[in-house]
Each structure stands twice: as C-alpha cells, then as structure tokens.
Amino acid sequence: MSAMSESVAISDIDVADVRFQFRFQTQSEDLRSSIAENGQLNPITLWRPRKNARYLIVDGFRRTDACIALGLETVDANVIRCTEDQAYGRAYVENVVRKNLTPLEKATGICAVIDRVGKKRAAEQIKISSKQLNRYIELLEAPSLTKRALGKGTISMAHALIISEYLPSVRMPEADLIRLAELNSAAELRKLLKKKRNNGRPKKFTRIDDEMLRMYPFRFNRVTASKEDRQKVSRALRAALKFVEG
C-alpha cells in the first residue's frame, strides 16, 4: 500500500459515499474553529477506486465537512493506492483502533467489517476472539433505553449485555434495570438478576399418584410435550383435585 500527500479539490471527492465510515457522524464547532484559525493540521485519507474516478474518504469525514462548511475549495490529503479491501482495513484501523470510540461505535464498525468479509475473517483482521466479536454483535441488539444509557456513559458494555440477557425473564421495566445497573457493578447486577429470575420460576407442585398412596414433587416446566406425559399430568391433577376437595 502506497500513499502520496497532495492538495485535492473538494469537488473531486464523493462526500456522499460513506462506505468507509465507521463512526457516528457529528458536527464539531471546535474542529471548524481550529481549521479556520490554524488551517488543516492533519490530512485526510482518500482512495480512488479507479483511474479518473472521484476520490472516496477513508478517514477524515468530519474534517472534510468542516472544510466544506468554511467554504474551502481544497483539502490536504494522503491518497492511498491499494485494493478496496486494503482501503477498508486502513479505514478500520484509523477509525476504530486508533480512536477513543464508545462501545456502540466500536460495535457499529465491527459489524460493518463483518458485513463485508464475514465473521471469521473479521475476527482475524480485527484480532479479537469470536466470543468478543459476538458480544459486540449482541450489543447492537440491546434495547433502545439501554443503548442510550450506554451512549451517555452511565452504564458499561457489560451492564448493557446483562440487561439484554435478563430483561425478558425478570419482569422488570427496562428503566428500572438501568437504574439498578447504575448502582451496582456488572458482577453484582448479574447476581441480583439471576436471583430474581430464579425466584420467578414455577414453584414445585405436589403430584399424587392414582392410588393416592404416596406424594412427591415435580416441576411443570420439565414436562415434555409428548402425549404420554400430558396424560400423566392430567391424571395427577385430577387426583390432586379429588384429594383437595375431599
């Protein structure tokens, strides 16, 4: 991969093509003011898919937007010459590895890599385990309030994943789970929710056989859907009703 620094006309850049964008795009008044006062200190990175085609931004979307807002006609850029896959790898390094991103931004970037090269190659390129890769995928599927709290920094990625795991089974509003997460470590939160989930499981019932000679416990949630088991449960319930009603 080779690169050459040059001044590029903004009109020659396809700013609408964001295939290499990993971060959530936000406006920055500070960046705009810095470029206005000091000029563009750091060049952006551009890639050209073919000869005479317009350039695509690999790194530097916000800097380009700031230059456009200031009415500048050119931008300082490092133009890389490589394949599209290599450009994609460069974009990931520049925008995810070297930047202080939020967990959600990292998850978005990682999933963009997965969409392009698949999970196995993504794990190899990003150099993380398959388990960690799956954690980032699960993070993007977290409930909306949980992702909002994570974005604000009031809970951690571990908190968010625990809330996603236990929300369907603990019968608590999502907002209450978030407040609980804010007050406890991830390990403490998991312990609390595991206890609450176990307390909400079906209780033991007493099964009485047809002869009503003995009693022993069983759990309804372990009964299979077979016809024979349904008949056994039916007989046990009828015997129990007969015993209760006298």
> In the predicted model, what is the mean pLDDT of residues 63-68?
93
What's the CA gap between 22 and 109, in Å, rounded?
Answer: 5
Where does the pLDDT of residue 96 fall: very low under 50, low under 70, confident under 90, or very high at 90 and above?
low
Q: Which two tokens stand for residue 123?
A: 């794990």
Question: What 3-state DSSP class applies to 174?
Answer: helix
pLDDT at 8: 94
Question: DSSP E strands: which ranges in 1-55?
Answer: 2-9, 44-47
Contacts of 110 (CB under 8 A, 6+ apart): 96, 122, 126, 133, 136, 137
What's the CA gap between 207 and 233, in Å, rounded?
Answer: 8
What's the CA gap between 29 and 178, in Å, rounded?
Answer: 32
> In the predicted model, what is the mean pLDDT of residues 82-109?
78
- Dihedral sign, CA of 101, 176, 184, 132? negative
pLDDT at 128: 81
Annotate 101-145 with DSSP letters as a single string. --HHHHHHHHHHHHHHH-HHHHHHHHT--HHHHHHHHHHHTS-HH
> In the predicted model, what is the mean pLDDT of residues 69-78?
94
Most confident of 91-100, 121-130, 220-229: 121-130
Question: What 3-state DSSP class applies to 206?
Answer: strand
pLDDT at 109: 78
For residue range 33-51, what is the model confidence (pLDDT) as tens digits?
A: 999 999 998 999 999 998 8
Residue with tokens 């001044």: 7
Where does the pLDDT of residue 124 fall: very low under 50, low under 70, confident under 90, or very high at 90 and above?
confident
Indicate if the pLDDT at residue 217 is higher than 50.
no
Strands 205-208 and 215-218: antiparallel
Where does the pLDDT of residue 163 fall: very low under 50, low under 70, confident under 90, or very high at 90 and above?
very high
For residue range 131-158, what is the model confidence (pLDDT) as tens digits?
A: 999 999 999 999 999 999 998 899 999 9
Helices in the chain by DSSP H: which ranges? Answer: 29-38, 61-69, 84-92, 103-117, 119-126, 130-140, 144-152, 157-170, 174-183, 186-199, 227-245
